[in-house]
Chain A
């Protein structure tokens, strides 16, 4: 990609991702409802929610919490923008970790026991999924000799084929990353949880709205990562990628509705086993 293209892609992401993310979230709620034999809310419901939160009275437990959440939002946007601008995948991943850390600090900052427990859970779930994401980058590098998203997306051949192991592992940890059942330990999208609202317990008003918007950006970026496995520099590749990403989204909704929340031990163990078997296995195959 040229610099101009990169900038255009980044701008497009920043402008369009919230809309797409919001729709995705709306579809999630609608489809979930239908899976539960309910009618469900309108597709635009997530937008209404955010609109409402923006217009509510602003309350906060302290003066610092907002800083972390703003950072979370900014860096999440930045991560996505870098990803779609075709930059270095490792840089994207590290920035994502940074964003994540800000969310955790935001949860910590109030001193609320529920959000802190949520933060702890977020941290070990992150411990379970981070290796896979790094291994994904490693595999791309081994296959294409570059960490650059633009190089990867414009290379011949679909990455899923040689990278099938990490692809499956990535799908597995996508559930954790999207905080969906069975791994919605730290912050469930369903409002019923054993630690109240988990990390978001003390978030309200604009702060909560920012969290939601960040989730939108995050979802789009993660689906972008799914699509990257299919991109091969042609329009067809992009179309297949988008379809695959949407299918992945539906799959996640289905999984979300088909599972109970598992024990944290299971989350960590399964995450690591998947990483070892599928992720490291894939690396080993590529090395040979």
Chain B
């Protein structure tokens, strides 16, 4: 038994620097592997729709006719499953989270028509 076993600790805390990060005044650095948000690079996308099928929370949808891939930021759970399953490596997971706000965007990406030659060179 000891009265105020923690007393010394808190006193020394009082005279040492606080551990608090000065966020948001100083932005936070994230480690490389940090799963922040999904990025889409349309260059190689073949609109196969695998990402959309795999996504456990239906955050990606692929519109083959309209040639768009859209990511619903409000639903994405950053699981990386789409990234891992895309056969063309169009998707990547990047640090940095999607900003909070009064509304959260559904990012729609156009996938440009690819020429045959391009396809062949792949």
Contacts and interface: CB of A to CB of B under 8 A. Distances in A.
A257 interface: yes
B7 A34 contact: no
Nearest to B6: A258
A259 B16 CA distance: 21
A254 B4 CA distance: 10
Interface string B10-21: 110110101110
B19 A38 contact: yes
A263 interface: no
Contact of B11 (A33, A35, A40, A259): A35
A56 interface: no
A38 B4 CA distance: 20
B20 A254 contact: no
A31 B13 CA distance: 10
A37 B4 contact: no
Given A258-B4, A258-B7, A259-B4, A31 B14 contact: yes
Contacts, number: 33
Interface residues of A, number: 14
Given A254-B7, A258-B6, A259-B4, A39 B14 contact: no
A37 B19 contact: yes
B18 A35 contact: no
A121 B32 CA distance: 53
Q: Is the interface of A mostly helix, strand, loop or mixed?
A: helix
Contacts of A3: none
A36 interface: yes
Interface in B9-40: 10-11, 13-14, 16, 18-20
A39 B25 CA distance: 14
Contact of B18 (A39, A255, A258): A39
30 contacts: A31-B14, A33-B18, A34-B13, A34-B14, A34-B18, A35-B10, A35-B11, A35-B13, A35-B14, A36-B10, A36-B13, A37-B13, A37-B16, A37-B19, A37-B20, A38-B18, A38-B19, A38-B20, A39-B18, A39-B20, A40-B18, A254-B7, A254-B10, A255-B4, A257-B6, A257-B10, A258-B4, A258-B7, A258-B10, A259-B4
Given A35-B10, A37-B20, 20 more contacts: A34-B13, A34-B18, A35-B11, A35-B13, A35-B14, A36-B10, A36-B13, A37-B13, A38-B18, A38-B19, A38-B20, A39-B18, A39-B20, A40-B18, A254-B7, A254-B10, A257-B10, A258-B4, A258-B6, A258-B10
